[in-house]
Amino acid sequence: MPTRIKGCKGFTLLEMMASMAVLLVIAGGIISVINLSQQAYGRTELKSDMYENVRGVAELMAQEIGQAGLVSLPTNPTPTVTPAVVSNSVAQTVNVSSTTSMFNGETLLIDAGPSEEPVTIISVTPTTIQAIFAQNHLAGATITALGVYPTGIVPPGAIDGSTGTTLNLYGDLNGDGSLVYVRYVCAPGTTAAPGTLSRSSTTITPGVNTISASQNLLSTLVPNPNGTACFQYATTPVNGGNSVNQLGITLTVQTNEPDPQTQQYATMTKSFLNMEPRNIMMAIELSGLQLTNRLQAQPPNVAAY
């Protein structure tokens, strides 16, 4: 005989529909929370990338601004006079082991000890320099560089001078004895078509007046608030000219993509004010002490760039 179990009943259709409705509400809430969390993460990532890009560029610029105006020659090996030099009141051409970072008008220190003397280059080739030597020098006498460049940051108003959108600087920027000219160009765009901050680096070589191609460091540049220039300068008179004693940099960038929630681009303005180029500050101090023989002339290439 079949046994009937009392109280064992299935779900009614109404109960099933109510359960599904509750589950859908819970699932929708969970999906909404996950979606908001993903949007918040994406927003944070966009802003973090924007900040990291600007910070990397600022560190590079700060390093090169600090090095601007540094005078030096390669030290591995140190350049030398290859034959012996006999003193003469007339300019003579002398063979040297290397003319890297040498240029017309530069003052060099020849030899050491009692025979040490400064000479000013009249002309230079890849293997020779022409100058007036007042001392005798043995073969192998060392050659070093003197002083600093007062115009290591090319001052506004000079030929090829820096501007609010262009920063020109030169010197031993890499700390390896090579004379390098660097140009930063700030070209802000719009939100729809952001602009760029580009950089070119050119090794200064006598007779070569072509600047190297530039590369973009930032590609999301937009105008600064209140029309503030990208580069701001303070100058002071030095040895008949001007030197940049303080430099300010202001950059405004936007995120690479719009905010996933608002669909608007986030922007950030970073200002780096009162950046002091230490070598140029040394030039200002030397000028104040009347030690103008330590102030190097500007390489001819700089005006040609």
**pLDDT of 41 above 80:** no
Residue 25 lies in a domain: no
Residue 58 lies in a domain: yes
**65 and 212 assigned to the same domain:** yes
What DSSP string describes 28-83? HHHHHHHHHHHHHHHHHHHHHHHHHHHHHHHHHHHHHHHHTTB-----TTPPBBSS
Residue 113 lies in a domain: yes
Instruction: Give me the helices (H) in the chain, please.
Output: 13-67, 278-288, 300-304
- Asked which of 116, 145, 174 is the last residue of a domain, the reply is 145
Which residues have C-beta within 8 Å of that of residue 305, sequence separation ≥ 6?
160, 168, 181, 183, 202, 209, 211
**208 and 127 assigned to the same domain:** no
Residue 140 lies in a domain: yes
**105 and 184 assigned to the same domain:** no
What is the domain count for the chain?
2
96 falls in which pLDDT band (50, 70, 90)? very high
Q: Which domain holds residue 134?
A: 92-145
**258 and 273 assigned to the same domain:** yes
Stretch 145-167: mean pLDDT, rounded?
A: 95
Stretch 264-281: mean pLDDT, rounded?
A: 89
**pLDDT of 77 above 80:** yes
**125 and 251 assigned to the same domain:** no
Cα 197 from Cα 189, distance rounded (Å): 10
Residue 79 lies in a domain: no
37 falls in which pLDDT band (50, 70, 90)? low
9 falls in which pLDDT band (50, 70, 90)? low
